[in-house]
Structure 1
Amino acid sequence: MTGAVATAPAARTGRAPAPRPVSPTARQMRRAGWWFLAVPLALFVVFMLLPMGMAAVISLTDYAIIGDTAWVGWQNYARIWDDAFFWTALRNTARYTLMYVPLGLVVALGTALLLNRSYRAVRLFRTLFYIPVVSSTVATATIWYWLLNPQKGLLNVALGWFGIDGPRWLYDSQWAMTAIVLMSVWAGFGTNMIIFLGGLQGVPGDLYEAARLDGANVWQQFRYVTLPSLTRTTFLVSTLLIIGAFQVFDQAYVLTKGGPGNSTVTMVYYIYNKGFGSLEMGYASALSFVLFLIILVFSLINARLNRPGDGGRVRRRRVPAAVPSAVAAR
């Protein structure tokens, strides 16, 4: 009763209660938090925002490192439209992306499903599959250069066991990009495998148990439990794959130098040639911002298709009657 009487005047006057004083310890922790935040923020500004701003200015000039610099405005961007070599590089990059992203998703998810076990040997395989990620790109490309050798390469030798005459891989314009995709998937699927493993281990086990009790087979469990639960994970992995696909450079530079017949010249490779080969830094900067817009558009499309905001829920009306009710209820 005393407490009610004491708070009655404050309620009648409508005044907010006085803020609680901040202790010196809390104030010190808040100050320390700002200091910790300031370090990565400063690095982001110095090594990301500042170079991007400088590149935006350079893209409006004919800066060539050597000689005078003149302001050309939007001429570099207008020049891109009539650049036939740009469209060749864009077409090659799109072809690489269409092959690399789906294959990268399938390989990473399939490997994660195989390694989502509690056996001791699984830890060893997880480590082995992750080694290519931390290996040097040059060393990895050298290994694949010999694996793809038309005469004595291990891949063509293995195909010969089945009576298949292997292609000339890096020396054939129809197969060179496929060879680069194979190497890229092998060298980078370890990271995506780890991400999928984290998503798989976050799926509640009672969903699988309920599905098994209702008679769901392995495929139905995968389709109606595993895949919907990995919606956000799939969105993350596919976005990383799309960004990495449009920025591919090392593999094409080391394995093929853009050949044969410019069949493996990618966007970043073309930007590199224009900037450091022809010293057309202004035009290379304009190409970089066009590439940034392309990546942004495709990332937004991917976000729309995957819809990570749905939370991985399966709509009841999409589940056929043959699927267990426990899975459909989710």
Structure 2
Amino acid sequence: MITYTDHRKKSLRQRLRSRKGQQAIIIFAFMFIPLLLLFLFTYFPFAEMFKFSFYKMKYTGTRTYVGLDNYKEVFENKQIFSSLKLCLYYMAGSIVQLVIALYLATMLSFKTKGGNIFKGFMFFPFLINGIAIGFIFKFFYTRGFVFDTVLQWCGFNLENLPFWLRTQGLNNVSLVGTSVWRYFGQNMVLFIGAIMSVDAEMYEAAELDGANKFQQFMHIILPSIKTIVTLNIILSITGSLSAFEPPYVITNGGNGTATYFVVMNRIAHTNQKVGLASAMAIVLLMIIFTATILQKLFFKFAFRNANAEDEVVTSKKRRRNKVSKKQKEAV
């Protein structure tokens, strides 16, 4: 019996109605819509902001092309440059935040009484809105309110206590403490998830070799969670460069607490210098991008020994798998 195949090309409608055509439509829709939204709400506004950075302009009215003058003013303006220095306070606070989070995560990753309740309490501040936290700590640090009352219970005299939000330098430390209290719970949860994924047999082997808890932490836990450590440090440093909510809500940028974002917000919305504010945003993006690359290079160098050990372990596993396959084939 002779069968004839139809070699005629299918029409576009037939292709779209076929199973493969329906799959292609679904894949295209799931790709196109997110990419379109990403372009409209991210890349297109960023391109417009980059264009605005070369103009002297307000939100309404005429524009004047000034070239790189806005970028020069970013580095020459004392107020803008001094606001960058405040990021050092938040960077130091982020280091303290990560140390506390890593210490508590190491303790809570093992069997601890009430550990789950403690995790919930520590993670809860991260769930609160940043504006609400700002108002909470605004009353917390106000003269004669919560913090001063607690210190008086401990025996301190109110007249000898400083003004937590007025004293130069101390007010920035107080604001950094707000950020540490809010975000260290998030870092702690990420660390716990990474530490719990470490093989328990490694701890047993280390104990048999006579390693104490600190040696287990340095040679087992820390190299095993190097990816999460790098991620948390990058997020913390990036957040310290873009701190906004605590100084804006608690002090409104007064008494030397105006961070880079607060100054940029004031220049853009109060002074209506949109071009200068756009240039500040581009400069901040370049600083964050540079800091991220430097951190990755640093941790790549710092964990080079751990990477070499990982390669040795993976190579041993591959050899074992090959040997096991050959044994199965022989059987």
TM-score (norm 2): 0.80
Provide the residue aligned with 2:226 in structure 1. 231
| CA offsets 1:129-179 (integer angstroms, 9 cap, x no match) | 222112122221222123223433336633762658543211111201111
1:265 to 258, 264, 272: 258
Structure 1 residue 246 corresponds to structure 2 residue 241? yes
**Contact 2:84 / 2:259 at 8 angstroms: preserved in 1?**
yes
1:103 to 88, 96, 103: 96
Provide the residue aligned with 2:15 in structure 1. none
Provide the residue aligned with 2:4 in structure 1. none
Provide the residue aligned with 1:79 in structure 2. 73
**Contact 1:235 / 1:306 at 8 angstroms: preserved in 2?**
yes
Structure 1 residue 211 corresponds to structure 2 residue 197? no
1:172 to 167, 171, 175: 167
Describe the shift of the 1:259–1:313 C-alpha distance in structure 2 as closer, same or farther (beyond 3 A). Answer: same
| CA offsets 1:47-91 (integer angstroms, 9 cap, x no match) | 110110000111111121132112222111122232111111111
Describe the shift of the 1:116–1:284 C-alpha distance in structure 2 as closer, same or farther (beyond 3 A). Answer: same
**Runs of 5+ unmatched residues, structure 1:** 1-23, 317-330
**Contact 1:235 / 1:308 at 8 angstroms: preserved in 2?**
no
**Runs of 5+ unmatched residues, structure 2:** 1-17, 310-331
Describe the shift of the 1:36–1:117 C-alpha distance in structure 2 as closer, same or farther (beyond 3 A). Answer: farther
**Contact 1:150 / 1:166 at 8 angstroms: preserved in 2?**
no
Partners of 1:218 and 1:209 in 2: how far apart? Answer: 11
**Contact 2:55 / 2:65 at 8 angstroms: preserved in 1?**
yes
Partners of 2:20 and 2:103 in 1: how far apart? Answer: 48
Provide the residue aligned with 1:157 in structure 2. 150
Aligned-residue Cα RMSD (Å) equals 2.5
Partners of 2:249 and 2:167 in 1: how far apart? Answer: 16
Q: C-alpha displacement at 1:107, in angstroms?
A: 2.0
Structure 1 residue 90 corresponds to structure 2 residue 84? yes
Provide the residue aligned with 1:222 in structure 2. 217
Pick which of 196-205 and 36-45 moved more.
36-45
**Contact 2:89 / 2:173 at 8 angstroms: preserved in 1?**
no
Task: Name the count of aligned residue pairs.
Answer: 290
Partners of 2:177 and 2:152 in 1: how far apart? Answer: 15
Q: C-alpha displacement at 1:31, in angstroms?
A: 4.3
Provide the residue aligned with 1:4 in structure 2. none
Partners of 1:34 and 1:124 in 2: how far apart? Answer: 45
Partners of 1:312 and 1:28 in 2: how far apart? Answer: 50
2:51 to 57, 60, 68: 57
Provide the residue aligned with 1:285 in structure 2. 278
1:33 to 27, 31, 50: 27
| CA offsets 1:89-148 (integer angstroms, 9 cap, x no match) | 111123322x22201211221222232145684333322222211212222122212322
2:133 to 132, 135, 140: 140
Provide the residue aligned with 1:13 in structure 2. none
Q: C-alpha displacement at 1:187, in angstroms?
A: 1.0
Give aligned-pair identity as a percent. Answer: 26
Q: C-alpha displacement at 1:309, in angstroms?
A: 10
Pick which of 135-144 and 83-92 moved more.
135-144
One-letter code of the match for 1:83?
N
One-letter code of the match for 1:93?
C
